[in-house]
């Protein structure tokens, strides 16, 4: 059956490969990217792959929370229902690590943007819906202050903290929606797959991107993920796994959730965030 699937960061790497697979399978794919020309190019490349699949494109820089909000509004204006959201867009290394909103770009793009996008689009997802969040084997204890934009972290530390924070909110939101909402699951797509992120960060060619795309398609569509509310799938071990211990620590999870909500309040202002 054709599903309506939003994938962020569909212009490169695992996201592009996943979009390619989903379009080839005849799904209706909403491509997201930050660069309009690159996005247009991707839409053109994918448009011939299927007779039945539909493709739409949406532009937003996810390091700007106002653009995340506008992205969600635009999608909601055009769609009454989504089946799957794949929060794939992510950043490890970049020249300017501070966003316009005063946050570390890793926390903004990898943690807060998918949280805001998911919350805003939840009304479009029913109980059979799914939200797939791109986690990583790289996870480190989250400093709520760093999440809020205080201090400077190395690229690896900021990335690893942002991915644990994402895994923590995924588990919390997934479990809290267990009986009423979509499945929300965090997935490590496999370490060191050959994307530009991995090439830039580690200077290696990396593995086959289709391994990451395969597991995201399974997470989006297969029965094995149908009841995986709040779980963590580790594709390095190819199974559901225990998350980082901090994701099981209620107090630490609360601290991270509070820090994310505080960021949204401070950056966006109560008026437009709830408006």
Q: Which CB sits closer to ligand NAP, 60 or 221?
A: 60
Q: Which CB sits closer to ligand NAP, 52 or 99?
A: 99
- Does 167 help bind ligand NAP (rule: CB under 6 A)? no
The two three-digit tokens of residue 179, written as one number? 């009986």
Among the listed residues 134, 168, 185, 260, the single contact to ligand NAP using CB under 6 A: 134
Number of residues that bind ligand NAP (CB under 6 A): 29
Least distance in Å: CB of 96 to ligand NAP?
Answer: 11
Cβ pair 146, 104 in contact under 8 A: yes
Least distance in Å: CB of 29 to ligand NAP?
Answer: 14
CA distance 81 to 103: 31
Contact region with ligand NAP (CB under 6 A), list: 49-57, 70-78, 86-94, 219-227: 86-94
Residues of this chain, 23-82, that bind ligand NAP according to CB under 6 A: 33-35, 38, 61-63
Among the listed residues 4, 5, 7, 89, the single contact to ligand NAP using CB under 6 A: 89
Nearest to 64 by CA among 96, 28, 93: 96
Residues of this chain, 92-131, that bind ligand NAP according to CB under 6 A: 109
Among the listed residues 111, 136, 139, 167, the single contact to ligand NAP using CB under 6 A: 136
Q: Is 161 left (phi over 0), alpha (psi -120 to 50) or beta?
A: alpha
Least distance in Å: CB of 191 to ligand NAP?
Answer: 5
Which x/- pattern, by CB under 6 A, does the window 190-229 give for ligand NAP?
-xxx-xxxx-------------------------------
Least distance in Å: CB of 180 to ligand NAP?
Answer: 27
Among the listed residues 6, 7, 12, 273, the single contact to ligand NAP using CB under 6 A: 12
Q: Is 159 a catalytic residue?
A: yes
The two three-digit tokens of residue 145, written as one number? 């202050």
Q: Which CB sits closer to ligand NAP, 32 or 172?
A: 32
Other beta carbons less than 10 A from residue 138's beta carbon = 17
Residues of the shown chain interacting with ligand NAP in the complex, contacts defined by CB under 6 A: 9, 11-15, 33-35, 38, 61-63, 88-91, 109, 134, 136, 188-189, 191-193, 195-198
């Amino acid at each position: 059956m054709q599903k309506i699937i939003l994938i962020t960061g569909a212009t490169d790497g695992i996201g592009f490969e996943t979009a390619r697979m989903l379009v080839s399978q005849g799904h209706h794919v909403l491509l997201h990217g930050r660069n309009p020309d690159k996005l247009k190019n991707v839409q053109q490349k994918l448009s011939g792959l299927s007779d039945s699949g539909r493709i739409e494109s949406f532009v937003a820089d996810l390091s700007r929370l106002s653009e995340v909000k506008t992205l969600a509004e635009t999608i909601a204006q055009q769609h009454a229902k989504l089946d799957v959201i794949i929060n794939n867009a992510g950043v490890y290394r970049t020249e300017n690590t501070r966003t316009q909103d005063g946050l570390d770009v890793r926390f903004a793009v990898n943690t807060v943007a998918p949280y805001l996008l998911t919350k805003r689009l939840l009304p479009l997802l029913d109980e059979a819906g799914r939200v797939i969040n791109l986690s990583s084997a790289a996870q480190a204890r989250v400093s709520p202050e760093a999440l809020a934009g205080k201090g400077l972290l190395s690229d690896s530390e900021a990335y690893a903290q942002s991915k644990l924070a994402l895994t923590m909110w995924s588990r919390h939101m997934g479990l809290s929606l267990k009986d009423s909402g979509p499945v929300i699951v965090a997935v490590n797509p496999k370490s060191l797959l050959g994307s530009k992120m991995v090439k830039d960060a580690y200077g290696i060619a990396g593995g086959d991107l289709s391994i990451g795309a395969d597991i995201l398609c399974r997470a989006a569509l297969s029965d094995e993920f149908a009841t995986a509310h709040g779980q963590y799938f580790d594709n390095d071990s190819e199974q559901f796994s225990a998350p980082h211990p901090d994701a099981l620590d209620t107090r630490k999870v609360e601290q991270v959730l509070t820090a994310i909500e505080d960021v949204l309040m401070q950056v966006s202002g109560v008026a437009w965030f709830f408006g």
